[in-house]
Chain A
Amino acid sequence: MRKLVFIIFFLNFFCSITWAAKTFVYCSEASPKIFNPQLATDGPTFNASSRTVYNRLVDFKSGGTEIVPSLAESWSVNKLGTIFTFHLRRDVKFQTTDFFKPTRSLNADDVLFSFDRMRLKDHPYHKVNGGLYQYFDGMDMGSLIKNISKTDDYTVVFELAHPEAPFLANLAMDFSSILSKEYGDVLLKKGTPDKIDFEPVGTGPFIFKKYVKDNLIRYSSNKNYFMGPAQIENLIFAITPDASVRFQKLKAGECHFIAEPSPADVPKIEKDGKFIVTKAPGLNIGYLAFNTKKKPLDNLLVRKAIHLALNRDAYIQAIYLGNAKKAKNPIPPTMWSYNDQIKDYEYNPTKAKELLAQAGFKKGFETEIWTLPVSRPYNPNGKRMGEMMQEDLAKVGVKVKLVTYKWAEYLNKAANGEHALLQLGWTGDNGDPDNFLNTLLGCDGIAKGSNYAQWCDKDFQNHIKKAKMTADIELREKHYKMAQEIFKANVPWVTIAHATVFKAMDKKVKGYKASPFGYESFYEVNLEK
């Protein structure tokens, strides 16, 4: 026994402080779907891929909405606004990982590779891992981009079919991340192209090291990062779906930063004094989409009735604990072109019943609500909100079954239009109203799986199309305001709330800047001793 104690003591003595490296732990809310932002639409995937491993040609200024150079050090546009020429930074090294050693730096081929994969149906990578590019397709990038070509190794030219106001901002979005062509070629040769989306190689500040499914993701700092290495050495995403557990872990010092603190815990976190809580009105919308192609939800009266039957004030009190603003438009009030003239459908079960009777559903009907399986700022507790909706609708005779799936499956099935009523939400990702109105409600979004209401209205489409093709802000604003009116009259969604966004972190965390778009980037973060 004494010997054992001695040995242990011995070991202890020699091997105690070997890991002084700075390790930053982020307790995230959900597992990433995949490690490629091209194939995703959800925050957890973006945070784990595009904001760590990858870069884009241009980026948003950290903590802001302004567009700044990234992989492209400069760019120019022709007068018509249809030809964009990007000049790439020289000597941007791709990451050297355990599974891939790059032999060359970033060049125009990588840019072509990344966009061609999404754009060209016959690209060898187009169909890999499902081949569903919801953002790229949903935003109609495929028909917008007529051609991409390189004039030399460091110059890429995008030719557009027509001028598009938000184009540059689109290139700063997650799905426009640049992958390595060399890596793609190597994998193709090995016969394992699938790996490209599970073992990512990019140019970003953090190198992907390991993913333990549903448990954690490890990154290490990219020492060769072209903007200089990050302040922290190791970055860990500890996947913790339960909001209360995340808070408990923060308190126990097991994580430095937590995703989506539950509104219920926020007052406690603030009171503790050891943590920093930031609050800001979010650039988001939580909504309940009607599948307007399914009976009886194709009936406008039925949709209106359901909108009237839902007591959203109660949801805001119970689910958001008051930390949200009741929504009447699909875009948040902090965004330009918000139409404040619009009249909302206020809670009125009696009128809802009348409308249902008028629509021929005097006795009500049965339907399904799909409840959000993850906690997002725009809807912190989908299941509970579902139960409240269920009860509200029961009062007007609509019998609701609550259904849910795991996050990835939920999105896939909803993109396919298998739902009846669907809880979802959106956090803006380039600050343009087009990013809400066109992506979520445009006709093209139906085929592409981002328009969950499956709603296509000619007038609406006309307005958002015209708004997109001009750079005249006043004209654009007029069109968007009209579009919001058409939206409200047709009720493809029940607009629920614009939530306040909370961030909670340890006091040791320095240099964190919250993005208005809701993603997390830890490149500039530091840990104080």
Chain B
Amino acid sequence: MKKFFLRLNQNKGAIFGLYVLIVFVLVSLFAPLLAPYDPNTIFDNQFNLPPIWSGGEVTHFLGTDDIGRDVLSRLIFGTRISLMVGFLVVTLSLLVGVSLGLLAGYFGGWVDQIIMRGVDILMALPSILLAIVIVAILGPSLENGIIAVSIVYLPNYIRVVRGATMSEMKKPYVDASKCFGASHWRQILINILPNCMAPIIVLASLGFSEGILNVAALGFLGLGAQPPTPEWGVMLADAKAFIETSPWLVNLPGLCILIVVLSFNLMGDGLRDALDPKLKGR
């Protein structure tokens, strides 16, 4: 464990990503305190104010959007939404995916067959497409977007966990504890799961970025969060019409998405290197 942190510590990128993420988490936790205004308040006659550096006013540091809402406040509350989205997507897909993966790998046989056929089906549909279809059935909303993206991400967990489980199962200690009469539960939870943790952690950290990106993309297509939710993808899509007159309305949410996703990817890279020294240098 110590070694792990040591190795992680050496990776400057990962540490940088971690710090950035801590900042974002803090911002999202204290959003109501940090945001100068309510994200949905409309300021009359203060439409499309530019940010401070291109001649805006101090009262609206990052300007206002086309209907007079404070951009900074919306971005701050948007942080909350994006991180929550990432968290929920990872939790949902992790719980379901890992369970299914363990089941498939542990029991094998027809259980494995059924689960893997399901994985095949999910894999045959490109991710966003599947999400769009699911949203088409359930109706567009942030919650349904999260569910859809979580389903899309399932096959990754199932395949990795199944593979890891199968190779664990071949090891003698599993056989040994079977002889001692360990129950299926005990086998799965105590013996096998902890040994699959490394790939799961890496997948989860990458899942954050995928989840945030995909839900933002759904929002961009109008199939995710609904107004007035200050979701970054939606903010970006709504400002498209003003890209020439007020480019900051498009670029600020875009940058936010990029930075968060980048940080998660840096972290993910660092974690992978730290957990699996063989891959170091890759």
Contacts of B42 in A (CB 8 A): 314, 388, 391-392
Q: Are B238 and A264 in contact (CB under 8 A)?
A: no
Q: Which of A384, A392, A401, A402 has the most CB of B within 10 A?
A: A384
A149 at the interface (CB under 8 A from B): no
Q: Considering only CB atoms, which chain A residue lies closest to B242 in the complex?
A: A264
A352 at the interface (CB under 8 A from B): no
Contacts of A247 in B (CB 8 A): 244
Cβ-Cβ contact count across A and B, 8 Å cutoff: 58
Q: Which of B226, B227, B238, B243 has the most CB of A within 10 A?
A: B227
**How long is the Cα–Cα vector from A318 to B44 in the complex, in angstroms?**
9
Say which residue of A268, A319, A384, A392 sits within 8 Å of B238 (CB atoms). Answer: A384
Q: Pick 8 A–B contacts, CB within 8 A, sort by A.
A: A242-B241, A244-B243, A264-B242, A311-B44, A384-B238, A386-B227, A387-B67, A388-B42
Contacts of A291 in B (CB 8 A): none
Q: Are A383 and B244 in contact (CB under 8 A)?
A: no
B228 at the interface (CB under 8 A from A): yes
Q: Are A318 and B228 in contact (CB under 8 A)?
A: no
Query: Do most interface residues of chain A lie in helix, strand or loop, or is the interface mixed?
Result: helix
In the assembled complex, the CB of A180 is this many whole angstroms from the nearest CB of chain B, namely: 39
Say which residue of A242, A248, A387 sits within 8 Å of B227 (CB atoms). Answer: A387
- Which residues of B approach A to under 8 Å, CB–CB? 40-42, 44-45, 47-48, 66-68, 226-228, 238, 240-245
Given contacts A384-B66, A387-B67, A391-B228, contact A264 B241 (CB under 8 A): yes
Binary B-proximity of A312-342 (CB < 8 A = 1, otherwise 0): 0110011100000000000000000000000
**How long is the Cα–Cα vector from A311 to B238 in the complex, in angstroms?**
21
**How long is the Cα–Cα vector from A264 to B238 in the complex, in angstroms?**
14
Contacts of B40 in A (CB 8 A): 391, 394
Contacts of B245 in A (CB 8 A): 264-265, 268
Contacts of B243 in A (CB 8 A): 244
In the assembled complex, the CB of B132 is this many whole angstroms from the nearest CB of chain A, namely: 15
Contacts of A262 in B (CB 8 A): 241
Contacts of A453 in B (CB 8 A): none
Q: Which of B67, B228, B238 has the most CB of A within 10 A?
A: B67
A243 at the interface (CB under 8 A from B): yes
Given contacts A390-B227, A391-B228, A402-B227, contact A244 B45 (CB under 8 A): no
**How long is the Cα–Cα vector from A387 to B231 in the complex, in angstroms?**
14
**How long is the Cα–Cα vector from A265 to B243 in the complex, in angstroms?**
10
Contacts of B67 in A (CB 8 A): 318-319, 384, 387-388
**How long is the Cα–Cα vector from A244 to B244 in the complex, in angstroms?**
8
Say which residue of B48, B226, B240 sits within 8 Å of A244 (CB atoms). Answer: B240
- Range of interface residues on chain A? 20 to 34
Q: Are A318 and B66 in contact (CB under 8 A)?
A: yes
Q: Are A381 and B44 in contact (CB under 8 A)?
A: no
Which are the 8 A-B pairs with shortest beta-carbon distances? A318-B47, A318-B67, A244-B241, A387-B227, A314-B44, A391-B42, A388-B67, A264-B245
Contacts of A248 in B (CB 8 A): 244
**How long is the Cα–Cα vector from A482 to B243 in the complex, in angstroms?**
46
Contacts of B44 in A (CB 8 A): 311, 313-314, 317
Q: Which of B42, B240, B242 has the most CB of A within 10 A?
A: B42
**How long is the Cα–Cα vector from A240 to B76 in the complex, in angstroms?**
33
Contacts of A314 in B (CB 8 A): 42, 44-45, 68
Q: Which of A264, A383, A386 has the most CB of B within 10 A?
A: A264
In the assembled complex, the CB of A154 is this many whole angstroms from the nearest CB of chain B, namely: 51
In the assembled complex, the CB of A352 is this many whole angstroms from the nearest CB of chain B, namely: 16
**How long is the Cα–Cα vector from A381 to B68 in the complex, in angstroms?**
14
A255-282 at interface with B (beta carbon < 8 Å): 262, 264-265, 268
Q: Are A317 and B45 in contact (CB under 8 A)?
A: yes
In the assembled complex, the CB of B198 is this many whole angstroms from the nearest CB of chain A, namely: 44
Q: Which of B68, B240, B241 has the most CB of A within 10 A?
A: B241
Contacts of B240 in A (CB 8 A): 242, 244
Contacts of A402 in B (CB 8 A): 226-227
Given contacts A383-B227, A383-B238, A390-B227, contact A268 B68 (CB under 8 A): no
A378-421 at interface with B (beta carbon < 8 Å): 381, 383-384, 386-388, 390-392, 394, 401-402
Q: Are B241 and A391 in contact (CB under 8 A)?
A: no
Contacts of B47 in A (CB 8 A): 317-318
Contacts of B227 in A (CB 8 A): 383, 386-387, 390, 402
In the assembled complex, the CB of A399 is this many whole angstroms from the nearest CB of chain B, namely: 11
Given contacts A318-B66, A319-B67, A387-B227, contact A265 B244 (CB under 8 A): yes
Q: Considering only CB atoms, which chain A residue lies closest to B64 in the complex?
A: A318
Q: A264-B245, A391-B228 are in contact. List 6 more A-B contacts (CB 8 A).
A: A244-B243, A314-B45, A317-B45, A383-B227, A388-B42, A392-B42
In the assembled complex, the CB of A184 is this many whole angstroms from the nearest CB of chain B, namely: 36
Q: Are B68 and A318 in contact (CB under 8 A)?
A: yes
Contacts of B242 in A (CB 8 A): 244, 264
Contacts of B241 in A (CB 8 A): 242-244, 262, 264, 381
Q: Considering only CB atoms, which chain B residue lies closest to A264 in the complex?
A: B245
**How long is the Cα–Cα vector from A132 to B183 in the complex, in angstroms?**
67
Q: Considering only CB atoms, which chain B residue lies closest to A381 in the complex?
A: B241
Q: Considering only CB atoms, which chain B residue lies closest to A251 in the complex?
A: B244
Q: Considering only CB atoms, which chain A residue lies closest to B241 in the complex?
A: A244
Contacts of A401 in B (CB 8 A): 226
Given contacts A244-B241, A264-B245, A317-B44, contact A387 B228 (CB under 8 A): yes
Contacts of A242 in B (CB 8 A): 240-241
Contacts of A391 in B (CB 8 A): 40-42, 228
**How long is the Cα–Cα vector from A280 to B240 in the complex, in angstroms?**
27
In the assembled complex, the CB of A249 is this many whole angstroms from the nearest CB of chain B, namely: 13
**How long is the Cα–Cα vector from A384 to B66 in the complex, in angstroms?**
8
Binary B-proximity of A15-42 (CB < 8 A = 1, otherwise 0): 0000000000000000000000000000
